[in-house]
Amino acid sequence: MVNLTINGQKVQAANGTTILKAAESIGIKIPTFCYDERLVAHGACRICVVEVAGARSLMASCTVPVTEGMIVQTHSPSVIETRKDILRLILANHPLDCLTCEKAGNCKLQDYCYEYDIKESGIVGTKKNYPIDDSNPFFSLDRNKCIMCGKCIRVDNELQCTGAINYNSRGFNTHVGIPYDRELEQSTCVSCGNCVSACPVGALSSKNHAKFRSWEVKTVRTTCSYCGVGCQMDLQVKDNKVVGVEPVNMAPNDGLLCVKGKYGYRFIDHPDRLKTPLIKKDGSFVAATWDEAYDLIADKMRNVKENYGSDAFGGFSSARCTNEENYLMQKLFRAVVGTNNIDHCARL
Amino acid sequence: MTNGINEILNTDVIFILGSNTTENHPVIGAKIRQARLNGAKIIVAEPRKIDLAKDAEVFLKIKPGTNTALLNALMNVVLEEGLQDKEFIAERTENFEELEAAVKKYTPEYAAGICEVSAEDIRKAARLYASAEKASIIYCMGITQHSTGVNNVMSISNLAMLCGNLGKESSGVNPLRGQNNVQGSCDMGALPNVFPGYQPVAKPEVIEKFEAAWNVKLSSKPGLTVPEMMKAAGEGSIKFMYIMGENPMVSDPDTNHVKHVLEHVDFLVVQDIFMTETAEYADVILPAAAFAEKDGTFSNTERRVQRVRKAVEPAGSAKADWVILMELMNKLGYDKSYNSPDEIMDEIASVTPSYGGISYDRLECVGIQWPCPNKEHAGTPYLHKGSFSRGKGLFKGIEHKDSAETTDKEYPFILTTGRVLYHYHTRTMTGRVDGLNAKVSENYAEINPAAAAKLGVGEGDVIKITSRRGTVDIKARLTEKVNENVVFIPFHFAEASANVLTNSELDPVSKTPELKVCAVAIQAK
Ligand code: SF4
Ligand code: SF4
Ligand code: FES
C-alpha cells in the first residue's frame, strides 16, 4: 500500500495503482479520452493531466502510478488551463455538429467543453476534410470528428483482435483507416461494433434506425439471446422500442460484443412478429383469442390422452427460451400430460 | 465447459476442434486471440481453413468424420514419447491399460492416411498439447454431430486425462454450447431421460421426490429424443406435437422427412415469435414474447446463470412463454400459478441441487456459475477439481469408425455444414435484420477451385447438389478453405437448405444426427 494526498485528501492505494484510479477511489473525476481500463494505457490525449508536487511538468494521470508521499492536484489552475488548451486544439479542427450529431449527450468532447467553458476554439486551424465512410451497413466513420485517441484501433487490435483498422499516414494527416485507404467494407472488419462502443466522440457511430438522444433512453441490462457466450448488454429503450445495444464491461464478455449482439436486435419490433394466436381453419390461419386457442388445445389434449395415452404426446422445448420456461415446459409434459417425451434442440 | 470463459486468457495451449469459434462464438474467439497475444499457442483441427487457422501454430485440415483417429494418434505420440502425466493417471484415473492398447496402432503415419493430414503435424500438435502446463480443449458441433459423436467426446477426455490437463484452472475440456440457453435447457430437464439437474427418471427415489414436489403421479419410462419423436410421429404413434421456439423444418436433418411428419401428425401446436417454416404446418400458433420482452434467466456455456430483463412490452397480444405454459397448465386442471419468473426459479432451486443456491436477488449484479448448492455458495468456476463426478476418470479405448455415409463413385463429395458469423440458426431473427442480410443475403456452397474446374463450374454459378435424400440448386463459392473432396453449406437458409441433403443417421448414445458428414454428388447446371 502507498499513501498519498490528492487535492488535500489523504488516500491509500495499492502499489501500481495509477493516479487516475486512486483519485477515482475517493470520488474525484479526472477527464479522459484515450483511457480504457481494459487496455494498456498509452497516454495519447493528455486531457487527464494532473499536477504532482516536485515534478517538472504535468503528468498524465492514466499512466503514472502512485508513489509514497505523492502530493497531487487534479484541478489546479495550471491543470485547468492545460485541459482548456487541449480542448481548444481539438476544436480547432472539429466540426461543430452537435445539433445533429448522433453522439450528442454521450460525447466526451461535448461534456468536457461544457465542464471547462470552451465555446469555441479561438485557434484558426486547418479543418480536416475527409469523406465519410458509410460503407458498413451498421456504422459509419466520420474522420473529421476523430480526436485520434486511438481507442478504436487498440480495441480492435488488442481485444477484438481482428486487426482491421490502424493508423494511416503521419503527422497532422494521421487517421484511422485500413490498408491503402480503402473503405471499411473492403477490410477484414467483422462489424462487431466494438470500436464504435469505445469511441468517445461521434467519429464512429452506429447507423440508428430510430432517432434518439442519449438522455431520452432508459437502459435495461440483459443477456444476449443469440449464442451460448451469454454476453452482458444494456438495451437502450425509447418509447417502448429497443433503439440500441451497448456492451457491459463485466464477465463473461468484458465490454465486447459481436455483430449479432450489437446490431442483431432489430427483429424485436419487426412488423412480421406474431401478434395474436392463430387457429388453422380450412387450410388457412384465422386470428383467435387466447381463450379460444387454449380451449382448442386443451380439448385436443384431453382427447388424445383418453384415446391414445400420455405417450402419444411429444414436446419440443427450446434452447432459445429461459430456464424458467424450459422448466415449465418439461413440467407441463411430465406432471400434467404424464409423459417423458420432452426434449429440445440440444443436438442441433 | 469445465472451465470459465475468462480462464482461456491464462492458458498456455488452446486446442480447438470442430469449432469455428470466431464466427459461432465470436467473443470467445476474441478471447482466444487475446490469449494468443499473451503467449498462448493454438492448435486447430478442422475440415475447413477457418479464420483461426491463421492464428494456429499447427493447423490440421482433417477429413470430416475422422476426429477419433486424430485423437488416438495424438495419444499414440504422447505415449510413444513418454509425455503423459503419470501422476495424474495413477491418482485420478482408471482403465489406462485399455487406452494404451487401443491407441497402439494409431501411429501418426497410420492416422495421417485416415485424416488426410501430415504425420509430422500430428507429432507437433501432440508435443505442444502434452508439454503445456495449462492446456484447454475447446470443441463444438464438429465433434458431436457425427454418428460417432460420443466416441469423439470420449476420445477428447482420454487425451485431456492422459496429459493431466483437466480439473485445474485454465485446463480442461470445454464444449461450447451453440444456443444461448442450451446449457440451461439441459439443466432444466428438457431432456427425455432426466428431471432438472440431471436426475434420472428411471430412478425410483427421483420419481418419488418429484411426485412429492409436484403433487402428481409421474412416469418412470424414459421418453423419446427429438429425432425419435419425429420418427414416432411419422409412424403415427405420436399424435400431438407441441413445438416451442424451434424450427425443425430448417434446423433438422432430412427436411423431406420432417415435412412429412409435420403434415401428418394429428395436432400440432407451435409457439414462436415469427411465422416460421415449421409454424406453417401448425393447427394452432401461439405468439410468444421475444427475449427483450420478458424476465428470466439464461445459463451460458460456462454454466453461468444470468438475468434476462424485460425492456419493452410484448408485440401485440403476445405473451411470455412462461405465462403461456402456466395458463395452459391451469386450463388443464393443474392449479399452480406464479406471479413472476423469480418464483419459478425458487421452485427450480428447491428441486435442483446444482441450482439450490440460486435466486434472483443473488443474480442482480452478476451471474453465478453452477454447481451452486446453497445460498452461501459462491458458485463454481471450474469443474472436477480434485475428483470427477464418478470418482476416478475412466479411460476408454476407442476405435475410429467411418461416418455412416462415405463417398463412392455416385456420391464422391463429403458435405459438411455449419454457421456463418452474420446469421443465427434458421434466420428467424437475423433474416429480419437488414444489415445482416446485406452481409450474407443468400445461400451458397463452398467448393474447392480445382474441384470446380473439373466440373466446369465458375464463381457464382448455380450447381446441383444431390444426396440420397434430396437435391438443391445453389450458388458455388470457390475457395481453398475446403479440400477438393469437401463441400460446405451453411444451414441457416430455408432456400437451397443444407438439411434437405443431410443424413439423419444418429449417434447411438447421444442421438445426435450426423449433420457434419454426408455423401453428395455435384453437377454443373
Ligand atoms: S474514431 Fe473515435 S475511437 Fe477511433 S481514434 Fe477517432 S476518436 Fe478515437
Ligand atoms: S454478442 Fe455475439 S458472442 Fe456475445 S452472446 Fe451474443 S452472439 Fe454470442
Ligand atoms: S486519458 Fe490519459 S492520456 Fe488520454
Chain B residue numbers with beta carbons less than 8 Å from the beta carbon of A266 are 432-435
* Partner-chain residue, chosen from A220, A225, A296, that has the shortest CB–CB distance to B180: A225
Chain B residue numbers with beta carbons less than 8 Å from the beta carbon of A220 are 292, 309-311
Distance A261 CA to ligand 2 centre (A): 5
Nearest ligand (C-alpha, residue A33): 3
E strand or H helix that includes residue A263: helix A259-263
Q: Which pLDDT does position A83 carry in this prediction?
A: 96
C-alpha cell of residue B510 = 447421444
Closest residue in A to B344 (Cα) is A324
Helices (H), B395-516: 434-439, 449-455
Closest residue in A to B235 (Cα) is A312
C-alpha cell of residue B509 = 448414445
Tell me if ipTM is over 0.85. yes
Measured CA to CA in angstroms, residue A281 lies from A73, B87, B218 at distances of: 77, 69, 35
State the CATH architecture for A2-75: Roll (3.10)
**Angstrom distance (rounded) from CA B457 to CA B443:** 17
CA atoms lying within 13 Å on the CB side of residue A30:
32
C-alpha cell of residue A22 = 486512486
The alpha carbon torsion through B467, B471, B477, B482 (nearest 10 deg) reads -10
| CA-closest candidate to residue B464, choices B407, B416, B520, B405 | B520
**Angstrom distance (rounded) from CA A163 to CA A14:** 34
Q: Which pLDDT does position B496 carry in this prediction?
A: 79
**Would you give the DSSP letter of residue B51?**
G
Q: Which domains does chain B have, with CATH numbers?
A: 5-176 (3.40.228.10), 177-222+321-375 (3.40.50.740), 413-505+512-524 (2.40.40.20)
Which residue's alpha carbon is at the smallest distance from atom 1 of ligand 3?
Answer: A32
Domain boundaries, chain A: 2-75, 216-273, 280-344
Condensed to tens digits (0 to 9), the pLDDT of residues A169-206 reads 887 788 888 888 899 999 999 999 999 999 999 999 99
**Angstrom distance (rounded) from CA B125 to CA B135:** 12
Condensed to tens digits (0 to 9), the pLDDT of residues A135-172 reads 999 999 999 999 999 999 999 999 999 999 998 888 77
Please tell me which residue, A211 or A240, carries the higher pLDDT value.
Answer: A240
Average pLDDT over all residues of chain A: 93
Judge if the beta carbon of residue A226 lies within 6 A of ligand 2: yes
pLDDT at A121 over 90: no
Put simply, whether B308 touches A (Cβ < 8 Å) is yes
| CA-closest candidate to residue A234, choices A224, A246, A226 | A246
DSSP lists the bridge partners of residue A51 as A73
Chain A residue numbers with beta carbons less than 8 Å from the beta carbon of B307 are 221-223
Condensed to tens digits (0 to 9), the pLDDT of residues B118-147 reads 999 999 999 999 999 999 999 998 888 888
* Partner-chain residue, chosen from A138, A223, A314, that has the shortest CB–CB distance to B224: A314
Q: Which pLDDT does position B388 carry in this prediction?
A: 74
The alpha carbon torsion through A188, A190, A196, A202 (nearest 10 deg) reads 60
Q: Which pLDDT does position B433 carry in this prediction?
A: 87
E strand or H helix that includes residue B131: helix B119-131
pLDDT at B367 over 90: yes
Supply the CATH classification number for the domain A216-273: 2.20.25.90
Judging by DSSP bridges, how do beta strands A204-206 and A139-141 pair with one another?
Answer: antiparallel
Average pLDDT over all residues of chain B: 92
Condensed to tens digits (0 to 9), the pLDDT of residues B244-261 reads 998 888 777 788 888 999
Give backbone dihedrals phi and psi of B63, rounded to 5 degrees, phi first: -70, 135
Which residue's alpha carbon is at the smallest distance from atom 4 of ligand 2?
Answer: A231
Please tell me which residue, A208 or B56, carries the higher pLDDT value.
Answer: B56
| CA-closest candidate to residue A261, choices A187, A211, A197, A324 | A197
**Angstrom distance (rounded) from CA B441 to CA B390:** 48
Per the CB < 8 A criterion, the answer to whether A195 and A156 are in contact is yes
Atom of ligand 3 at shortest distance to CA of A149? Answer: 4
Closest residue in B to A342 (Cα) is B192
A269–chain B nearest CA distance, Å: 7
Burial annotation A263-279 (CB, 10 A radius, 16+ → b, else e): bbbbbbbeeebbebbbb
Atom of ligand 2 at shortest distance to CA of B28? Answer: 3
Condensed to tens digits (0 to 9), the pLDDT of residues A36-76 reads 999 988 899 999 999 999 999 999 999 999 999 999 999 99
> Average pLDDT, stretch B40-57?
96
Which residue's alpha carbon is at the smallest distance from atom 3 of ligand 3?
Answer: A43
Q: Which pLDDT does position A348 carry in this prediction?
A: 66
Atom of ligand 3 at shortest distance to CA of A32? Answer: 1
> Average pLDDT, stretch B322-333?
96
Closest residue in B to A158 (Cα) is B34
Put simply, whether A293 touches B (Cβ < 8 Å) is yes
pLDDT at B186 over 80: yes
Chain B residue numbers with beta carbons less than 8 Å from the beta carbon of A163 are none
Put simply, whether A320 touches B (Cβ < 8 Å) is yes
Q: Which pLDDT does position B363 carry in this prediction?
A: 93
**Angstrom distance (rounded) from CA B228 to CA B250:** 17
B127: buried, middle or exposed (CB in 10 Å: 19+, 13-18, 0-12)?
Answer: middle
Which residue's alpha carbon is at the smallest distance from atom 4 of ligand 1?
Answer: A152
* Partner-chain residue, chosen from B222, B301, B348, that has the shortest CB–CB distance to A340: B222
Put simply, whether B296 touches A (Cβ < 8 Å) is yes
Chain A residue numbers with beta carbons less than 8 Å from the beta carbon of B240 are 300-301, 304, 312-314
